[in-house]
């Protein structure tokens, strides 16, 4: 189990580093071609509502999101700093690793204004390929608050 | 505008509806007056969905401007709404978003209300051991939170505190009511709720949704990825009083990348393409070729149909320079699994992270900041003329002028 814990923690660390360093082009590769990436809230989950403010069920959709952020969408320059806590490994079997990790994201705007932009939990299903690379089959980002300040451009 | 009214807010505003001074977005006094004349005025306000409160005693809490409101399913399947304010000391009667109750008891001193908002018992009304208690001439019937009139259309519940308001149908006008019924035509199901906090005056969002001029200029998603729609036509429908707006984009469907590929129409090398544009594949479900329809109801409700993505957006002002935008994403009870998945995937288009709505989250704040020192300066809204009538083009600001036409009438400004 400790090996699995380390594997998930290392994946989280690389994931955060890529987003926080604005290397978004590398972000889709953290997912399998058939995957689910969804940003939702604890309340939606509690109510059984399926929707997400971002809902991608293919890696292509994640690549498109990055392309849209780079080429089409307009928003003020900003960066994130992810702080991802120690994962809980719920299961590790033939269906992959099931894990949950708490996160905080601090957003720093162009102006220098900083705010606690999001807090919540990643709920993940992780598969490890023959080459030893771990990828998300599923990453559901469950935000504690139903409120999103201004807009959500950069992925969580 | 010299209209003969002694209005405490009377200050410089050119006559007409095509120019708007910036003080109207900045002055706390304006916001207070809006609460009185618009939110508590002869105007219908969205409260919740009919399906939010299906059973006897089901309630939701909402807001009409600053006023907290309880909406509850009462006896006889009647929907009741009243101010969420205890008649005693003014505490919230209900402080959850939703729930089910037999009656409402204020937690402060246990004053109890029935499902119509009538005060029906008071703790220790006759005192304890013959001491204390309310005066003998205290009449419960004379005390209670303000009650709202309630009406529904298409499963949307509206309320007004003003007995002088016309019927909901008359308020909406028949052409706008028809646009609502076009989409909200069968049993709804909520598929998600999100709140977006916008750092701008609430009226900027009311204008933005009516501003069909900006759509292809600010929101570059469709043009960037060369997502072409065949036979584009459309226009704006405006209610006679200017208050409400419906825009429509009519086409035979979307030309996605796969269509280009299938038909061998052009090379993919010269333009940016989406990797997976299958989420844009749309099924006509409203019996016509309207792909996009946005309805904006005065003052703070928006009803969106973006292909198969349906949403209700409600604005709640939070001060002169902040507002909450409550998104409720909608499916229908008769959705097939394929249709439901399509709606979930098309949610990427609109919402706090929407491909074609993300910019609306920050653009109002750019105006708020840009005009910070320009209270007496004027914003110009003259694309497509200076009046507010329906047009068969979307390159117009007619609906924005319509908003101001109704606003100035109600505010007597």
A103, β-bridge pairs: A84, A120
Q: Which two tokens stand for residue B273?
A: 């393409």
* Whether residue B89 sits in one domain with residue B226: no
* Whether residue B290 sits in one domain with residue B241: yes
Instruction: State how far the Cα of A74 lies from the Cα of B162, in Å rounded to an integer.
Output: 41
pLDDT at B264: 52
Which among A40, A44, A149 has CB closest to B197? A149
Q: What are the CA-CA distances from residue A143 to residues A40, B11, B191, B357 (Å)?
A: 6, 45, 17, 21
Residue B8 lies in a domain: no
- Contact between A53 and B194 using a beta-carbon 8 Å cutoff: yes
Give pTM, 2 decimals: 0.94
Residue B300 lies in a domain: yes
Query: Total domain count for chain B?
Result: 2
Residue B223 lies in a domain: yes
Strands (E), B253-322: 254-255, 290-297, 301-306, 309-317
Break chain A into its structural domains and give their ranges. Answer: 3-143
Residue B33 lies in a domain: no
* Whether residue B95 sits in one domain with residue B145: yes
* Whether residue B127 sits in one domain with residue B181: no
End-to-end CA distance of chain A: 27
A3-143 carries CATH number 3.40.50.970: no
B279 to chain A, closest Cα gap in Å: 9
Residue B296 lies in a domain: yes
pLDDT at B267: 46
Average pLDDT over chain B, rounded to an integer:
92
Which among A50, A67, A146 has CB closest to B194? A146
CB count within 10 Å of CB B263 equals 9
SS3 content of chain A, % helix, strand, coil (to 5): 30, 45, 30
Which among B191, B194, B276 has CB closest to A148? B194
Residue B158 lies in a domain: no
* Whether residue B263 sits in one domain with residue B125: no
* Whether residue B131 sits in one domain with residue B180: no
Residue B90 lies in a domain: yes
Asked casually if ipTM beats, i.e. exceeds, 0.90, the reply is yes
Residue B99: exposure state from Cβ atoms within 10 A (0-12, 13-18, ≥19):
middle
In the A/B pair of chains, how many CB contacts fall below 8 A? 125
Closest residue in chain B to residue A67, using alpha carbons only: B274
The DSSP bridge pattern shows strands A31-41 and A54-56 to be antiparallel
* Whether residue B99 sits in one domain with residue B190: no
CB count within 10 Å of CB B1 equals 15
Domain residues for the domain of B281 are 174-411
* Whether residue B304 sits in one domain with residue B187: yes
- Contact between A74 and B348 using a beta-carbon 8 Å cutoff: no
Provide the residue-wise pLDDT of chain B in tens; the chain has 413 residues: 444 445 555 579 999 999 999 999 999 999 999 999 999 999 999 999 999 999 999 999 999 999 999 999 999 999 999 999 999 999 999 999 999 999 999 999 999 999 999 999 999 999 999 899 999 999 999 999 999 999 999 999 999 999 999 999 999 999 999 999 999 999 999 999 999 999 999 999 999 999 989 988 899 998 888 886 655 788 899 999 999 999 999 987 666 655 555 555 444 444 578 999 999 999 999 999 999 999 999 999 999 999 999 999 999 999 999 999 999 999 999 999 999 999 999 999 999 999 999 999 999 999 999 999 999 999 999 999 999 999 888 889 999 999 999 999 999 99
Closest residue in chain B to residue A61, using alpha carbons only: B276
Rg (CA), chain A: 15
A3 to chain B, closest Cα gap in Å: 35
Closest residue in chain A to residue B359, using alpha carbons only: A74
* Whether residue B128 sits in one domain with residue B180: no
Question: Which residue, of B152, B182, B217, is where some domain finishes?
Answer: B152
* Whether residue B353 sits in one domain with residue B406: yes
How confident is the model over A40-95, as pLDDT tens digits? 999 999 999 999 999 999 999 999 999 999 999 999 999 999 999 999 999 999 99
Burial B351-365 (b: 16+ CB within 10 A, else e): bbbbbbbbbbbbbbb
pLDDT at B262: 55
CATH number at residue B81: 2.102.10.10
* Whether residue B210 sits in one domain with residue B140: no
B210 to chain A, closest Cα gap in Å: 20
B276 to chain A, closest Cα gap in Å: 5
* Whether residue B190 sits in one domain with residue B59: no
CB count within 10 Å of CB B411 equals 19
A2 CA to centre of own chain: 22
- Spell out which residues of chain A touch residue B191, defining contact as CB-CB under 8 Å: 49-51
């Amino acid at each position: 189990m400790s090996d699995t814990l380390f594997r998930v923690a290392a994946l989280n660390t690389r994931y955060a580093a890529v987003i926080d360093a604005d290397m978004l082009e590398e972000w889709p590769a953290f997912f399998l071609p058939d995957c689910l990436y969804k940003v939702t809230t604890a309340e939606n989950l509690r109510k059984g509502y399926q929707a997400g403010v971002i809902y991608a069920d293919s890696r292509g959709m994640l690549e498109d999101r990055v392309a849209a952020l780079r080429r089409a969408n307009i928003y003020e320059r900003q960066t994130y700093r992810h702080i991802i806590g120690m994962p809980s490994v719920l299961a590790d079997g033939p269906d992959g690793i099931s894990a949950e990790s708490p996160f905080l994201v601090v957003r720093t705007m162009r102006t220098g204004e900083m705010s606690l932009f999001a807090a919540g939990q990643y709920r993940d299903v992780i598969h490890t390929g023959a080459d030893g690379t771990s990828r998300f089959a599923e990453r559901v980002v469950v935000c504690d608050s139903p409120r999103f300040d201004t807009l959500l451009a950069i992925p969580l | 505008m010299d209209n003969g009214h002694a209005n405490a807010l009377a200050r410089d505003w050119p006559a007409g509806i095509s120019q708007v001074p910036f003080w109207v977005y900045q002055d706390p006094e304006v916001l207070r007056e809006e609460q009185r004349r618009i939110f508590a005025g002869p105007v219908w306000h969205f409260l919740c969905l009919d399906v939010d409160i299906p059973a006897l005693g089901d309630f939701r809490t909402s807001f009409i401007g600053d006023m907290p409101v309880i909406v509850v399913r009462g006896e006889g399947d009647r929907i009741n709404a009243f101010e969420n304010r205890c008649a005693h000391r003014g505490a919230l009667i209900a402080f959850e978003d939703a729930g089910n109750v037999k009656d409402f008891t204020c937690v402060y001193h246990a004053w109890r209300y029935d499902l119509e908002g009538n005060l029906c018992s008071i703790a220790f009304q006759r005192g304890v051991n013959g001491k204390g208690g309310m005066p003998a001439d205290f009449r419960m019937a004379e005390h209670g939170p303000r009650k709202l009139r309630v009406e529904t259309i298409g499963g949307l519940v509206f309320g007004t505190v003003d007995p002088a308001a016309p019927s909901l149908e008359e308020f909406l006008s028949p052409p706008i009511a028809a646009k609502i019924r076009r989409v909200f035509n069968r049993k709804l199901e909520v598929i998600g709720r999100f709140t977006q906090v916008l750092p701008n005056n609430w009226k900027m969002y009311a204008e933005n949704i009516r501003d069909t001029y900006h759509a292809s200029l600010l929101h570059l998603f469709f043009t960037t990825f060369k997502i072409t729609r065949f036979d584009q036509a459309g226009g704006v429908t405006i209610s006679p009083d200017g208050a409400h707006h419906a825009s429509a984009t009519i086409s035979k469907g979307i030309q996605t990348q796969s269509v280009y590929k299938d038909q061998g129409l052009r090379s993919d090398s010269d333009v940016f393409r989406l990797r997976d544009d299958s989420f844009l594949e749309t099924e006509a479900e409203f019996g016509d070729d309207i792909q996009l329809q946005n309805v904006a109801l005065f003052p703070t409700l928006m009803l969106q149909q973006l292909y198969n993505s349906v949403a209700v957006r409600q604005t709640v002002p939070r001060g002169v320079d902040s507002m909450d935008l409550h998104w409720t994403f909608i499916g229908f009870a008769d959705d097939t699994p394929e249709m439901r998945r399509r709606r979930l995937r098309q949610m990427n288009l609109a919402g706090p992270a929407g491909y074609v709505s993300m910019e609306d989250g920050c653009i109002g704040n750019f105006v708020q900041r840009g005009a910070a020192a320009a209270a007496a300066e004027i914003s110009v809204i003259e694309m497509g003329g200076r009046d507010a009538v329906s047009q068969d083009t979307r390159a117009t600001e007619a609906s924005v002028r319509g908003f101001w036409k109704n606003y100035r009438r109600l505010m007597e400004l």
